[in-house]
């Protein structure tokens, strides 16, 4: 009753457009979900995200859920997820994307979902890893394992936002290592992150995992931000 009372005074609103949510809507309204700029890259083996890694890392498949544009709805959702503790966004989007990925030939044989890790200092400051929430949603929808115990950061790196392509690669080229290697020998690992721009961070993570015998790596992100 108390929850219903507060809902009358402070009705829940969509995180993306701030319109009042209907009874069966959760954090993001149906209209926003329908109109978000989906890429359908998971259905296209030679999509722009996959091409980022050509000649750089032996990636089995790569895709992004949405196209990222400045001041757009996707940017707003990711900002709410990363900085305003709207954790449900990550799981909702992950569930949605996982249900699509498991229906495709190039992603359906993934064994483990692994988020790009935060450094402990950043983790302590933010309190959670937004990529882990997205990974959890994907894994739950695909009914596979999600593990944060495979890749870890050895060095605290600066923000990538204003760096050039080379500087982004230089900033992250040797900051990741793996542990529990035996558990993923021969496995297909899906590495996930929130946004891919140049692919430097994901490339560094993938190269680290690919050192483990007979592993295969694919990549999925919430959004693709072309430079």
**CATH number of residue 215's parent domain:** 3.40.50.2020
Q: Do 88 and 20 sit in the same domain of this protein?
A: no
Taking the model in full, what pTM does it have?
0.87
**pLDDT tens by residue, 128-167:** 999 999 999 999 999 999 999 999 998 766 554 555 554 5
User: Do both 177 and 81 map to the same domain?
Assistant: yes
Within this chain, do residues 41 and 20 fall inside the same structural domain, yes or no?
Answer: no
Mean of per-residue pLDDT scores for the chain: 88
Q: What percentage of the chain has pLDDT greater than the value 70? A: 87
State how many domains the chain has: 2
pLDDT at 165: 54
Same domain (yes/no): 130, 205:
yes
**Distance between CA atoms of residues 126 and 122, nearest Å:** 6
Does one domain contain both 8 and 55? no
Split at pLDDT 50, 70, 90, the class of 15 is confident
Domain that holds residue 22: 1-35
pLDDT digits (tens, 9 = 90+) for 30-60: 888 889 999 999 999 999 999 999 999 999 9
Q: CA 227 to CA 225: how far, in whole Å? A: 6
């Amino acid at each position: 009753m108390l929850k219903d009372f507060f809902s009358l005074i402070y009705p829940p609103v969509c995180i993306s457009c701030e319109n009042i949510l209907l009874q069966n809507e959760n954090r993001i309204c149906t209209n926003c979900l329908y109109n978000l700029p989906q890429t359908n890259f998971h259905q296209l083996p030679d999509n722009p995200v996959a091409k980022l890694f050509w000649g750089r890392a032996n990636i089995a498949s790569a895709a992004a859920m949405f196209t990222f544009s400045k001041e757009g709805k996707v940017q707003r959702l990711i900002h709410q997820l990363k900085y305003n503790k709207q954790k449900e966004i990550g799981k909702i989007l992950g569930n949605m994307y996982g249900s699509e990925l498991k229906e495709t030939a190039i992603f359906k044989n993934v064994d483990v979902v692994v988020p790009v890790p935060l450094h402990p200092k950043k983790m302590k400051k933010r309190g959670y890893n937004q990529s882990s929430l997205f990974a959890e949603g994907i894994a739950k929808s695909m009914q596979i394992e999600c593990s944060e115990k495979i890749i870890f950061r050895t060095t605290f790196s600066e923000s990538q936002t204003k760096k050039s392509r080379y500087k982004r690669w230089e900033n992250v080229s040797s900051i990741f290592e793996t542990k529990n290697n035996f558990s993923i020998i021969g496995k297909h690992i899906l590495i996930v992150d929130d946004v891919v721009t140049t692919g430097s961070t994901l490339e560094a993570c993938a190269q680290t995992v690919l050192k483990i015998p007979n592993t295969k790596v694919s990549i999925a992100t919430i959004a693709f931000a072309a430079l």
